[in-house]
Amino acid sequence: MSPITLTEVRRLPEEHAVRLTWSDGHIAVFDYQYLRGYCPCAMCQGHNVTEVRFHQPAGEVTALGISPVGNYAISFDWSDGHSTGIYRFDFLREICPCEECLARRGQN
């Protein structure tokens, strides 16, 4: 079975969100605040972290740019000047905020 990859990343500026579509057909909308709060970089999460945690951004953020990182991740240039987080495709699926994924993780 091949790994699940992103097939489309589309900014939704009016909604302050990004829509991600995966190779298995899964589609989810991620709010910018949500993604910025889950930034996986060491500066945001610490160096010896075993589980990435949400950290509320200091203010409203917008994704000024979105770039591919190899064939396994994307990165964001955030309006607060932050741009070091590498969001792996599998990590994005782990934190997917859609109802289906929340139910699978036992969150409401």
Task: Give me the residues of the chain with pLDDT under 50, please.
Answer: none
Say how far apart CA 48 and CA 69 lie, in whole Å.
Answer: 23
For residue 108, what pLDDT is reported?
A: 61
* CATH code of the domain covering residue 78: 3.30.2020.30
pTM score, whole prediction: 0.91
Domain-located, residue 18:
yes
Could you list the residue range(s) of the whole structural domain that residue 98 is in?
Answer: 6-104
For residue 90, what pLDDT is reported?
A: 93
Say how far apart CA 61 and CA 58 lie, in whole Å.
Answer: 9
For residue 39, what pLDDT is reported?
A: 96
What value does the mean pLDDT of the chain take? 93
Domain-located, residue 24:
yes
| Number of domains making up the chain | 1
Phi, psi of 62 (to 5 degrees): -130, 145
Domain-located, residue 69:
yes
pLDDT in tens, 37-66: 999 999 999 888 788 999 999 999 999 999
Strand order in the sheet with 17-22: 6-12, 17-22, 27-31
Domain-located, residue 55:
yes
Residues 19/27, Cβ–Cβ less than 8 Å: yes
Domain-located, residue 1:
no
